[in-house]
Amino acid sequence: MKRFRFHDSPVLNVQMPLWRSRLVLVLMLLGFLAIVAKALYLQGLSNDFLQQQGERRYEKTLVLPATRGKIFDRTGQVVLASSVPARAIWTVPEDAQNATPEQLGELARLLEMPLEDIRARLANLSRNFVYIKRQVSVETAQKIAKLKIPGIHQQAEVRRFYPEGGMTAHIVGFTNIEDRGIEGVELAFDHLLSGEPGTRRVIRDRLGRVVEDVQAAIPPVHGKDLYLSIDAGVQYDLFSALESARVKNKAAAAAGVVIDVKTGEILALANLPTYDPNEGANRQGKSLRNRAMVDTFEPGSIMKPFTVALALDLGRVRPDTKFDTGNGKYRYQGAVISDVSRNGVVDVGGILRRSSNIGMTMISERLTSQEMWTKFTELGFGRAPNANFPGVAEGRLRPWERWRPIERATMAYGYGLSASLLQVAHAYTAFARDGDMVSLTLVRRQGKPTSVQVFSPQVASTVRAMLDEAAGRDGATLAQVQAYRVAGKSGTARKLVNGKYSTKQYRSSFVGFAPVSDPRIVVAISIDEPHAGVYYGGRVAAPVFSEVVASSLRRLGVQPDAPLEPVLAAGPDDGAPR
């Protein structure tokens, strides 16, 4: 048998064509170049793609939100604001493409959103986290979960809840969707209420679920609770009285303030129209305005007691000083000053009781512009009161050097300057106390309040007696309260419209305090643009004052200081602007 050596094999001796070996070499080279090109593409040219894919699973620092503090009334029994559980509804758009039209329609219905808005959010396929709606109630979120919509997820969060709604809206304010205060007390004390958030470093998967903790979490420091000076009962009484008065008088707006004379605490503050802070859609327009603090107006006759007190304090007049106001018309500095009725010869107390503009003009002639400006400034006019509240108005009080003699006269009876209702109420605490103005606060006060002496105790007592008469049998009788002596002054001011004083638009007001023997509260009421046929402060605002004083003193447990007898009905002159 013939033996062949291995290298002599006919198969192995067949020589491969040169082109075939070169083809193999070229194919190998092309494959290598393709691998290199792909690597370069992935490393340098497709960074966005890699970033997107990397974000499906990554390390992240989570913020652990602090629970916002509650807001209470002064008793601590009534919650004015608290944080309640809520849910944020979000989506991974790519995963939600398999949702059926029926599922999306039901989702839109439950969230009270247009279906088009939801479809627009789901169309953003380049993102892997899109909010659909935040601060959804837990009940609604549970219904959504039962739909089992692919790509639709939930995460826990909180939303602010205001149990008293519009009644305390202008005091408490509200927060934004990030739980930061943007109005009212929520804004003023945001640093105290919000606390400090904690942190947690984790690794999450593409659905946002935590897979692993990287390090120990830093817990949040929760916000502190806040106790306001507001008495929920007094607040309710004030709000209800204003609401009824606004309807009865067909008024555009109404506002009121109740201040504790002893402590300077604001027990109640209400405005109409109002809004529901729980409904975001209602947080707009004129209803947001805190009229008692922000709106300024020419006070009119409620300024007269301050001019009288200044003249008494400087010794320019005595309580029994007589003035002849004539027949109700008085020509002064080229203008005619008018009274509603002929008052003839009256003393200083009579000028207040009869609300005589002529009498106030005659008193102002015994004062200088600088003296009036200085005292009005001491009383807080022309500067914002320190009341722990954002946006409080300072009003307008022009420098005395620019006053003309006629302006000195008009400012004596409340025209030519502007102030907020809170400023006027604050100034009246000087008459309710011993001539000193107590500092204001919206927070429950701890310790003794500070005060500033603006009149002597004797002058304060004298004016207090005059205001007692002004709200008595011969004055604004509708301000009287059974079993309590009240003191105060009504005002009826024409509003400026297009630079001229209107004969159809008025602001009716009444400011006073009670009980006269030992004052406990100052109450200020303003009714803006009443259109029910009567507009004088003695008829429109005085009854509201009476109602609020009566309910407030009883709630506060203040002992009566007058015999229980029928309150006098309004007399024929009670329509006067007193």
Residues belonging to the active site: 301
Instruction: Give the helix/strand (H/E) hosting 461.
Output: helix 457-470
Looking at the DSSP bridge assignments, the partners of residue 72 are: 79, 227
Q: Is 214 helix (H, G, I), strand (E, B) or coil?
A: coil
Q: What is the 3-state secondary structure (H, E, C) of 50-96?
A: HHHHHCCCEEEEEEECCCCCCEECCCCCCEEEEEEEEEEEEECCCHH
β pairing state of 71-72 and 79-91? antiparallel
Q: If you search the block for the tokens 């004015």, which residue do you land on?
A: 80
Using CA atoms, how far apart are residues 38 and 148, in angstroms rounded to an integer?
A: 40
Interacting residues of 469 by C-beta distance below 8 A, sequence separation 6+? 349, 352, 353, 475
| 163-to-43, 192, 244, 410 alpha-carbon distances in Å | 57, 21, 22, 45
| Token code pair at residue 220 | 């949040």
Are the CB atoms for 418 and 297 separated by under 8 Å? Answer: yes
Are the CB atoms for 310 and 375 separated by under 8 Å? Answer: yes
Residue 309: how many CB atoms within 10 A of its CB?
24
For the chain, give the number of residues: 578
Instruction: Give the helix/strand (H/E) hosting 156.
Output: strand 152-161
Residue 267: how many CB atoms within 10 A of its CB?
27
- Give per-residue burial for 56-72: e unless 16+ CB within 10 Å, then b: eeeeeeeeebbbbbbbb
Are the CB atoms for 65 and 220 separated by under 8 Å? Answer: yes
Number of helices and strands (H, E) in the chain? Answer: 18, 21
Using CA atoms, how far apart are residues 375 and 433, in angstroms rounded to an integer?
A: 17
| Token code pair at residue 186 | 């929520």
Instruction: Give the helix/strand (H/E) hosting 266.
Output: strand 266-272
Distance from chain centroid for Cα 215: 42
Using CA atoms, how far apart are residues 28 and 24, in angstroms rounded to an integer?
A: 6
Distance from chain centroid for Cα 44: 54
Nearest to 328 by CA among 346, 306, 316, 312: 346
Looking at the DSSP bridge assignments, the partners of residue 335 are: 332
